Amino acid sequence: MLVNVRFSEDLVVRYVFLMTIVIMAGNGADGADPAHEAAVTIDRLFQAAWKRDQVTPAGRAEDAEYFRRLYLDLAGRIPAVSEVRDFLADDSDDKRSRAVTTLLDSPASVRHFTTSLRNAFIPQANSQPQFRALIPGFEAWLWQRISEGRPYDQIVHDIISTELNAGAGAALSATTSPDAFFVVRELKPENLAAGTARAFLGVRLDCAQCHDHPFDGWSQQQFWNMAAFYSGFSQPDDQDADNPLLTQPMTEKTDKRAISIPGTEDIVPAIYLTGLEPDWTDPSRTPRQMLADWIVDSQNAWFAKMAVNRLWAQFFGRGIVDPVDDVSDNNPASHPKVLDLLAQEFVTSGFDVKHIVKIITATNVYQLSGRQTHVSQDEPTHFARAALRGLTPEQFFDSVAEAVGYYQPYRSDNPFVVDMNSPRAQFLNLFRNNTESPLERETTILQALAMMNGTFINNATSIDDSQTLRAIAEFPAMGNDQKLETLFLSALGRRPAPEEQLRFGEYLSSGGATDDSKAALADVFWALLNSSEFLLNH
């Protein structure tokens, strides 16, 4: 079954080679691995799609390339020099899958998934400054659940059905709770309906709010049926437009199951998007609990697909459906069977995110190189080579910090409280980008200026101020070659190529532009930190 007679010779050779590697990896430490089996099936689906579309995929990523990408995708930062050295030195067959398992249990990974889910669930906190104060409480709540290994469906259920700290007024925003999900949507049933559909189902209902949206098959009635589940909130009497953080106490009528469509006489009941009517026989179940039950139900095809699609996008820069939150007939999946398979795995694993991550990272698709070998690899929907993609602001700063050896002081009582004057907060602000897709990430002129001339990078590349650089520069046992290697490993997670060794080595030994070998070292580090290889994921 491996060899299809119609494969070109080249493809067959590559295919057999790749399959052999997968099989070897699968036969590693933990024997029959369910994630491995799914990964093989996914690779087979991609092979078929590439063949159909006459695509020649890129080669397999080298260890260093793979390792850096894995760290960024899973831990939200580049690997440390020692971590790269250890990985490169390890010659066991299953080191890639072991690295995944180790990283999945790391605090950095919990932190990274927390940030990713927060971005997905309360995107307003990024785009609208008045909601930024909500981030710490929401992240602390998510972080706790992710670190406890709670299944994804439970987390979502808890958000939708949470008992809001009603009446707490301003305190609402400061608590360790999922309340921010409601606050950023101003407790409005219409915003909550649209937000729920988009964040958890990948369905854009928004346009059906005001009129039927025949294009996507959603009617205005269906929109308000969904909103009715959130109809119990009283709006504060004295609503202050300048203060949406709800400083007024609010109440919720948990027996309200219908809503009137504004501007009409119509009152519509709470009905699920599928048209199914909720079974209200248990009077103790509130409308939000009933909605949460239906959203996370294993029969709800949207729910699992949305979650695995978003995970896929975290590892590839684009979803199988892309944008990830726009599932509709007009926006078909590039590889629907892959999406189905992952969704099925997600359900049967009990909504275990780690299981899906293990599958995705075990595929050959994920392990492709970013180096182009054929033009057919340039179409991003083929996933035929690792795309160049932007970092999130958090990935960016945590990577810079790792590379330059900057110690990030966290407040021990609450690591999520952000000091707005810290370098991290300043960088997050500057590198908060507005493009929707990481594949379309744009570097701004202001970002370029901050990297070239800003105080933080300037200190990091100054012999007087940078601990890391001085340690390398003044370490007597290191020759120029080793110094150069350490700088490359710090910034790029790889050793210099022979011609780089020559070119940069020459620069170092000539004393650079200032006839000063230490300053020359700083120049090299500056160039590395400003390179697109450092500033992008690939």
Partner 1 sequence: MQRTISRRDVCKYSALSLLGASASGWLPTIAARAGQSDTKKNRNCILLWMSGGPSQMETFDPKVGHENGGPTRSIETNVPGVRIGENLPMTAQVMDHLAVVRSMSTKEGDHSRATYFMHTGYLPQGPIRYPTVGSFLSKELSNEECDLPAFVSVNPFQAFSPAAYGPGFLGPAWSPLVVASQMTGEDAEAQQVSFEVSNLKRSGQVTQAQANARLQLLTSLEHDFLKNRPGGPGRSHVQSYQQAIRMMESGAVDAFSLDSEDDTLRDAYGRNPFGQGCLLARRLIETGVSFVEVNLSSADGAGGGARWDTHQDNFEAVSSLCGVLDPAYATLITDLEHRGMLDDTLVVWMGEFGRTPKINENTGRDHWPKSWSAVLAGAGVKGGQTYGSTSEDGTEVTNDPMTAQNLMATICKALNLDHDVTNYSNVGRPIPLSDHGSEPIQSLLS
Contacting positions for partner 1 (CB under 8 A)? 124, 127-130, 206-207, 210, 239, 241, 370-373, 378, 387-390, 434-436, 438-450, 452-454, 458, 462, 464, 497, 499-500, 502-504, 506-507, 510-515, 519, 523-524, 526-528, 530-533, 535-536, 538
**102 vs 372, which CB is nearer to partner 1?**
372
Read out DSSP for 187-227? T-HHHHHHHHIIIII----GGGGTS-BTTTTB-HHHHHHHH
- Using CA atoms, how far apart are residues 133 and 125, in angstroms rounded to an integer? 8
**Shortest distance, CB of residue 85 to partner 1, whole angstroms?**
22
Q: What angle do CA 12, 16, 20 make, to 5 degrees?
A: 170
**Shortest distance, CB of residue 104 to partner 1, whole angstroms?**
27
Coil, helix or strand at residue 437: coil
Say which residue the tokens 């469509």 belong to.
Answer: 261
**24 vs 420, which CB is nearer to partner 1?**
420
Closest CA to 536 of 401, 380, 388, 315: 388
H or E element in which residue 317 lies: none
**Shortest distance, CB of residue 218 to partner 1, whole angstroms?**
14
Coil, helix or strand at residue 46: helix
**111 vs 389, which CB is nearer to partner 1?**
389
**10 vs 242, which CB is nearer to partner 1?**
242
With 0-12 / 13-18 / 19 or more C-beta atoms within 10 angstroms meaning exposed / middle / buried, residue 480 is middle
Q: Quick one: DSSP state of residue 370?
A: S
- Using CA atoms, how far apart are residues 391 and 116, in angstroms rounded to an integer? 12
**Shortest distance, CB of residue 81 to partner 1, whole angstroms?**
19
**113 vs 131, which CB is nearer to partner 1?**
131
Specify whether the CB–CB gap between 233 and 187 falls below 8 A: yes
**389 vs 483, which CB is nearer to partner 1?**
389
Coil, helix or strand at residue 331: strand
**Shortest distance, CB of residue 211 to partner 1, whole angstroms?**
8
**Shortest distance, CB of residue 349 to partner 1, whole angstroms?**
33
**Shortest distance, CB of residue 12 to partner 1, whole angstroms?**
24
CB neighbours (10 Å) of residue 515? 9
Specify whether the CB–CB gap between 384 and 58 falls below 8 A: yes
- Using CA atoms, how far apart are residues 395 and 72, in angstroms rounded to an integer? 7
- Using CA atoms, how far apart are residues 403 and 467, in angstroms rounded to an integer? 12
- Using CA atoms, how far apart are residues 106 and 74, in angstroms rounded to an integer? 9
**Can you give the C-alpha Rg of the chain in angstroms?**
25
Q: What angle do CA 201, 196, 319 make, to 5 degrees?
A: 35
**202 vs 438, which CB is nearer to partner 1?**
438
**76 vs 496, which CB is nearer to partner 1?**
496
**102 vs 239, which CB is nearer to partner 1?**
239
**129 vs 283, which CB is nearer to partner 1?**
129
Closest CA to 228 of 279, 190, 263: 190
**114 vs 209, which CB is nearer to partner 1?**
209
**382 vs 441, which CB is nearer to partner 1?**
441
**Shortest distance, CB of residue 431 to partner 1, whole angstroms?**
12
**219 vs 373, which CB is nearer to partner 1?**
373
Sign of the four-CA dihedral 169, 170, 174, 178: positive
Residue 89, CA atoms < 13 Å, CB-side half-sphere: 6
**Shortest distance, CB of residue 464 to partner 1, whole angstroms?**
8
CB neighbours (10 Å) of residue 455? 12
**Shortest distance, CB of residue 69 to partner 1, whole angstroms?**
13
**Shortest distance, CB of residue 200 to partner 1, whole angstroms?**
20
Amino acid at 50: W
**Shortest distance, CB of residue 439 to partner 1, whole angstroms?**
7
- Using CA atoms, how far apart are residues 366 and 369, in angstroms rounded to an integer? 9
Q: Quick one: DSSP state of residue 262?
A: T
**Shortest distance, CB of residue 22 to partner 1, whole angstroms?**
25
Specify whether the CB–CB gap between 192 and 177 falls below 8 A: no
With 0-12 / 13-18 / 19 or more C-beta atoms within 10 angstroms meaning exposed / middle / buried, residue 169 is middle
**Shortest distance, CB of residue 97 to partner 1, whole angstroms?**
26
Helix residue ranges per DSSP H, 298-440: 301-316, 336-348, 353-362, 393-404, 423-431
**462 vs 480, which CB is nearer to partner 1?**
462
